[in-house]
Structure 1
């Protein structure tokens, strides 16, 4: 067995350990109401078991990272599969550090599922070791990617604590206009997370069924001499094509629920070779996630926020607010170094300029400016509690768009990482 194959097995072990750790954290927090032990003793016992399990998962994840590095001869952060697995590992490192400071088992009940979602999302992408393009061979890239991801991981922990704060203080029984508005946005945040889960389920479901659809797309461009050049590209779908590529012909398409041909065509301005497939993926994410959300609502017969809110009782919201702030405060200087300073050094080595207004560079700057504003409002304006938590939640949405949306939707020099 090669080291790369061994790393894949260890990665699977890490995934299941994270899942078990999450269940143990749920028992630690929610199970204390039905335990024969004192609530504090029950939470301490199961919290310790959960933390040990999550630490073992992190150890397995680290083993995956280093064995894949040794087996492939290159740091495993060069494509979406490798970067997202590294981000999941970084979130667990950040969580472990924050847990060591505050010793709050409840944080694990939110940080672990976030890690599981990101790791599952990574598994959607091809896991094969891919050869590096010249721009990825710099040592500065390794420093840039790892530190940027670690900073974003602390932002993720801040997001988890901020969302917990909102679920703790927002009363889902009140009917005032302000209360309903807060309830809606908390529920919308949970719905957005369910959309990601629904997308993952849809991808693995159709992949397991062996679904395939293939198209040929013609693309016309005007070269520097003013002559129109027409090229033909092949596009493969792993999800039923509700939206086919613009200006394309169907080569082969498996039938799905009586759908023998695509229902729609991507708009003309989405004429990139993968643009239609990505739009189709977004559509399926909304469909699968909405169905999953609807099933959860039917099962619990209430909003998800109202289901989770009772588990927050007895938790000091000021502790959650402090954890969210500290996590972001730790992550901000790390992100500044990785996503801006080291990134600019790498850009100069790879492309001969420190800054080029590439979409990924622009959104990294937007992320940095946003968290700069967060810290400013927190420290200078005294924005704490509800305002601070909303900023932490919105900030991580920006991080996710920078990581996923820019790579997969907007074309640029960083598009290779979406391969």
Structure 2
């Protein structure tokens, strides 16, 4: 077994160990109703065991990280596969740090899925070790990317804490307008998470089975004042509900009787892969609706109401504190990595500190959002539900910065979305 295969094996082991740790954390909470021991003792012992398993998973992923670094001769954070696996590892590290402070087993139920979903998302991208493009051949790659990811990891823990607080504090039996609004907000948040899971699962599954459909169109290219007509192809790994605008079918694998796309992407959708991105979004939402409906059918109640009893013994003030402290730790780290170090590197790589590139803009939006969060928390006394909602919304902004900007909006950072 070569070093690259060994590295991938350790990542796969870490992924399944994280899932096992998550299940143990679940058992620490829901298993106490069947345990003969004191419920608090049951939660404490199983929570401790689940935490040890989490640490083992983190050590496995740390082994993956350093073996890949040694094999590739550079820090493995240069493309989407490497960055997302690194972000997953940083989320686990942030979880370990916060858990050691608060010793709250329920945190593992909400924080660990964020980590292993991020790692699963990484598997969508090519995993081969690729040579660095010139813009990335700098020691700032180590400094900028690692600190930015570390800050985002603590934001993820803040999201988990905020979501836990809302599930604990919202009255799911209430019938007032505010109760209904809060209940819908929680359901929408859970639905967004399920859509992301369906996106990852669908792309991974169809790609694993070798599904492929290809479309082509002729485009006019001008090079050195000379016009040439070239054929541009766009490849799908999901069955094409929608095809790219103005293209012809080159290859289409039938799926569930679907022998041609249902409709064509609108002409105003410009840019490379616009049709494929719309097709992926449609599939993700459709599958998310189906998955949400199936879980609702099993639970026989809104998912927020079904999850809320898991946290009935938790102190809501502790959950509020966990969310705030995680964000308070992550914010200065994110400020250094995503803004200050990024601007210094941009000056070296492109000759300017700021260029309104989409990734730069959304990093700034993220930074401003959490600045507002901390201002409202410290100066205006926004605690409890208000603070928790901001923590949840803030991480959705982070996820759009990571997923939407890299895969939908083109810019100087598009190399990350290979």
TM-score where L is the length of structure 1 = 0.97
Alpha-carbon distance, 1:83 to partner? 0.7
Residues of 2 paired with 1:90 and 1:261: CA distance? 43
The aligned runs of 1:265-344 (5 Å cut-off) are 265-344=264-343
Counterpart of 1:62 in structure 2 is: 62
Say yes or no: does 1:164 pair with 2:164: yes
Residues of 2 paired with 1:267 and 1:74: CA distance? 42
Asked whether the equivalents of residues 233 and 273 of structure 1 are also in contact (C-alpha less than 8 Å), the reply is: no
The aligned runs of 1:15-414 (5 Å cut-off) are 15-220=15-220, 230-414=229-413
Residues of 2 paired with 1:221 and 1:156: CA distance? 43
Residues of 1 paired with 2:302 and 2:385: CA distance? 20
Q: SS where residue 255 of structure 1 aligns?
A: coil
Counterpart of 1:3 in structure 2 is: 3
Residues of 2 paired with 1:324 and 1:316: CA distance? 13
Select between 342-351 and 231-240 the one with higher mean Cα deviation: 231-240
Residues of 2 paired with 1:10 and 1:217: CA distance? 42
Structure 1's unaligned 5+ residue stretches are: none
Q: SS where residue 273 of structure 1 aligns?
A: coil
Deviations 1:194-235 (A, max 9, x none): 11111222123222332110111333467796x765432222
Residues of 1 paired with 2:188 and 2:274: CA distance? 26
CA RMSD of aligned residues (A): 1.4
Asked whether the equivalents of residues 22 and 113 of structure 2 are also in contact (C-alpha less than 8 Å), the reply is: yes
Asked whether the equivalents of residues 155 and 396 of structure 1 are also in contact (C-alpha less than 8 Å), the reply is: yes
Residues of 1 paired with 2:370 and 2:388: CA distance? 12
Asked whether the equivalents of residues 14 and 61 of structure 2 are also in contact (C-alpha less than 8 Å), the reply is: yes
Residues of 1 paired with 2:190 and 2:139: CA distance? 38
Q: SS where residue 268 of structure 1 aligns?
A: coil
Residues of 1 paired with 2:306 and 2:364: CA distance? 37
Select between 29-38 and 140-149 the one with higher mean Cα deviation: 29-38
Alpha-carbon distance, 1:79 to partner? 1.1
Deviations 1:315-349 (A, max 9, x none): 10000000000000000000000000000111111
Deviations 1:85-132 (A, max 9, x none): 011000001111111111111111100111111111111111111221
Asked whether the equivalents of residues 78 and 141 of structure 2 are also in contact (C-alpha less than 8 Å), the reply is: no
Alpha-carbon distance, 1:72 to partner? 1.1
Residues of 2 paired with 1:231 and 1:90: CA distance? 44
Asked whether the equivalents of residues 123 and 204 of structure 2 are also in contact (C-alpha less than 8 Å), the reply is: no
Asked whether the equivalents of residues 217 and 273 of structure 1 are also in contact (C-alpha less than 8 Å), the reply is: no
Select between 173-182 and 371-380 the one with higher mean Cα deviation: 173-182
Structure 2's unaligned 5+ residue stretches are: none
Q: SS where residue 283 of structure 1 aligns?
A: helix
- Tell me: CA distance 1:141–1:269, structure 2 relative to 1, closer, same or farther (3 Å): farther
Q: SS where residue 384 of structure 1 aligns?
A: coil
